[in-house]
């Protein structure tokens, strides 16, 4: 039998308890401690899980040599100092999104993780969800033709944050999904926003990402909307996909619709766009909790020394785009160029992650994924 990986979750506010519930339920893992500075949050979790000790001091976790991994679910400003301390202490780290408040901090964390030979992963949870995995398969199969553009809308009323704008709060999910689908970084970003309640903290933003071959993506993020909306449209030259994460069934719909320009015409009277309207179908997707798959993947990466699908480098790429969006807002929406359009850690070429099975209506679509090199050897204390 394998020795369990001892995990500590830091931050037991809104999101932390979901991580606690999942790590507690996973095999080959022992949830050793829950840490929060607020006693009342620890008391609440104690009422749910009396067997798990609570701790108010983060430093106590750092001093615990038997604690192998730390999961950070505090607000963003704490991510860097906590992750730095944990990585420096030789612990594996899963940080919630966004990875940190600056790309410099992300780079420093990646460097420390490499020096220490430990796993560094970021909680871009949607990349572990069945609908996104399915969309990625469909796009990669060529079924929708050439990818043209993606639009994403993530809207609701609140929760207003005090230290980050809505793009830093909500757009990390959409950026991570879009980079995963497109398979490369945008070369230019521009963003505009409105700060209607708190000066300097935009509660509505519209971000545009420009990719090679005229491909574009638009991300609309808002805390200032009467409805909860979680939608994405992926437009290809042959077909289009609509993904509605709020829908309880038929989260993905594939539209056999397209529009084409005539290849040639002599007079303006002859010019007509050709519209095609065909069927709409919805592939069956068995729903499972993406966070469970994410937590399991973190443990697998620790145990087998694999680079996570949502590695520190992916976290850095998302933060670079967020930084560019902030700069663009300050310059009234001016385009900000990114130096290099490569997707450095290549989440698109990550080997398949063992997931809860997704039932597909059609034969499996071709994959073409490559094996990756190992980065994070499992520490001797666990392998024996």
Ligand X SMILES: NC(=O)c1ccc[n+]([C@@H]2O[C@H](COP(=O)([O-])OP(=O)(O)OC[C@H]3O[C@@H](n4cnc5c(N)ncnc54)[C@H](O)[C@@H]3O)[C@@H](O)[C@H]2O)c1
List C-alpha distances in Å: 111 to 77, 90, 174, 378, 379. 19, 13, 26, 18, 18
**Residue 27, CB-side half-sphere exposure with 13 Å CA sphere:** 2
Exactly one of 24, 68, 92, 97 binds ligand X (CB under 6 A); which one?
A: 97
Query: Are 322 and 168 spatial neighbours (Cβ–Cβ below 8 Å)?
Result: yes
Q: Are 329 and 194 in contact (CB under 8 A)?
A: no
Q: Rounded to the nearest whole angstrom, what is the least distance from the CB of residue 297 to ligand X in the complex?
A: 13
Q: Can you read off the two tokens belonging to residue 112? A: 């420390």
| Of 22, 101, 119, 125, the one binding ligand X by CB under 6 A | 125
Between the alpha carbon of residue 316 and those of residues 23, 154, 185, the distances in Å are: 25, 21, 12
Q: Which is nearer to ligand X, 12 or 217 (CB)?
A: 12
Q: How far, in Å, are 74, 101, 114, 186, 359 from residue 97 at the CA level?
A: 10, 10, 20, 20, 29
In the structure encoding, which two tokens stand for residue 143, read together? 């079924």
Q: What is the CA radius of gyration of the chain?
A: 22
- Single residue of 123, 186, 236, 312 touching ligand X by CB under 6 A: 123
Minimum gap (Å) between residue 55 Cβ and ligand X: 9
Nearer to ligand X, 13 or 351 (CB): 13
Residue 215 or 251: the one with the smaller Cβ distance to ligand X is 251
Q: Are 308 and 144 in contact (CB under 8 A)?
A: no
Between β-strands 240-244 and 147-157, what pairing exists: parallel, antiparallel or unpaired? unpaired
Q: Does 11 bind ligand X (CB under 6 A)?
A: yes
Q: Which is nearer to ligand X, 257 or 353 (CB)?
A: 353
Q: Does 13 bind ligand X (CB under 6 A)?
A: yes
Q: In the complex, what is the shortest distance from the CB of residue 380 to ligand X, in angstroms, rounded to a whole number?
A: 29
- Give the nearest distance from C-beta 168 to ligand X in angstroms: 8
Closer residue to ligand X, CB minimum distance, 180 or 215: 180
Work out how close the CB of 42 gets to ligand X at its nearest, in angstroms, rounded to a whole number.
Answer: 9
Using the contact rule CB under 6 A, the part of the chain among 10-18, 105-113, 202-210, 299-307 near ligand X is 10-18
Task: Say which DSSP state 295 is in.
Answer: H
Rounded to a whole number of angstroms, the minimum distance from the CB of residue 363 to ligand X is 32
Residues 33-92 that bind ligand X (CB under 6 A): 35-38, 41, 58, 73-76, 78
Q: Does 275 bind ligand X (CB under 6 A)?
A: no
Q: Which residues, at least 6 apart from 230, have a Cβ–Cβ distance to it below 8 Å?
A: 153, 154, 244, 245, 246
131 contributes a contact to ligand X by CB under 6 A: no
Tell me if residue 336 falls in helix, strand or coil: strand
State yes or no: residue 180 binds ligand X (CB under 6 A): no
Q: Is the dihedral of CA 339, 340, 344, 348 positive or negative?
A: positive
Indicate the residue among 96 and 137 with the shorter CB distance to ligand X: 96
In the complex, least distance from residue 82 CB atom to ligand X, rounded to whole angstroms: 7
Of 79 and 239, CB closest to ligand X: 79
Is residue 142 within the footprint of ligand X (CB under 6 A)? no
CA gap 285, 133 in Å, rounded? 10
Q: Which is nearer to ligand X, 123 or 236 (CB)?
A: 123
Question: What is the smallest separation between the CB atom of 53 and ligand X, expressed in angstroms?
Answer: 14
Closest distance between ligand X and the C-beta of residue 170, in Å? 9
Bridge partners of residue 232, in order along the sequence: 152, 243
Instruction: Report the distance separating Cα 270 and Cα 262, nearest Å.
Output: 9
Question: Which CB atom, from 178 or from 240, has the smaller least distance to ligand X?
Answer: 178
| 383 burial level (CB within 10 Å; 0-12, 13-18, 19+) | exposed
CB of 327 to ligand X, least distance (A): 21
Alpha carbons 154 and 166: distance in angstroms, whole number = 10
Which residue lies nearer to ligand X by CB, 190 or 296? Answer: 296
Q: How many residues bind ligand X (CB under 6 A)?
A: 22
Asked if residues 51 and 33 have their Cβ atoms less than 8 Å apart, the reply is no
State the residue number with the nearest CB to ligand X: 13
Residues within the interface to ligand X (CB under 6 A): 10-16, 35-38, 41, 58, 73-76, 78, 96-97, 123, 125
């Amino acid at each position: 039998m394998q020795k369990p990986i001892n995990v500590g979750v830091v931050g037991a506010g809104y999101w932390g308890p979901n991580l606690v519930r999942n790590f507690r339920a996973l095999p080959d893992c022992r949830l050793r401690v829950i840490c929060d500075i607020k006693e009342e949050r620890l008391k609440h979790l104690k009422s749910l899980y009396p067997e798990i000790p609570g701790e108010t001091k983060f430093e106590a976790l750092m001093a615990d040599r038997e604690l192998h991994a730390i999961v950070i679910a505090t607000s963003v400003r704490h991510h860097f100092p906590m992750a730095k301390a944990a990585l420096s202490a030789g612990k594996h780290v899963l940080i919630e999104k966004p990875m940190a408040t600056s790309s410099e901090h992300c780079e420093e964390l990646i460097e420390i993780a490499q020096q220490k030979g430990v796993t560094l992963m970021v909680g871009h949870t949607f990349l572990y969800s069945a609908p996104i995995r399915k969309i990625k398969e469909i796009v990669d199969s060529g079924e929708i033709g050439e990818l043209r553009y993606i639009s994403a809308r993530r809207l609701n009323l609140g929760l207003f944050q005090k230290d980050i704008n809505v793009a830093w709060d909500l757009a990390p999910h959409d950026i991570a999904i879009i980079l995963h689908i497109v398979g490369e970084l945008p070369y230019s970003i521009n963003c505009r926003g409105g700060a209607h309640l708190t000066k300097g903290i935009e509660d509505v933003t519209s971000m545009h990402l420009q990719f090679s071959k005229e491909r574009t993506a638009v991300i609309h993020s808002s805390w200032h909307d009467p409805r909860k909306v979680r939608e994405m449209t992926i437009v290809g030259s042959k077909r289009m996909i609509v993904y509605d994460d709020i829908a309880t069934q038929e989260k993905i719909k594939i539209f056999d619709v397209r529009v084409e320009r005539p290849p040639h015409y002599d007079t303006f009277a002859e010019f007509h766009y050709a519209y095609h309207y065909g069927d709409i179908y919805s592939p069956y997707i068995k729903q499972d909790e993406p966070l469970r798959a994410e937590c399991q993947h973190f443990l697998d990466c620790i145990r087998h020394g694999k680079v996570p699908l949502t590695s520190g480098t992916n976290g850095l790429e998302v933060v670079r785009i967020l930084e560019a969006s902030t700069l663009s807002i300050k310059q009234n929406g001016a385009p900000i160029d990114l130096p290099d359009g490569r997707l450095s850690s290549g989440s698109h070429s990550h080997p398949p992650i063992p997931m809860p099975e997704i039932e597909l209506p059609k034969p499996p679509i071709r994959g073409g994924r490559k094996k990756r090199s190992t980065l994070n050897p499992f520490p001797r204390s666990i392998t024996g």
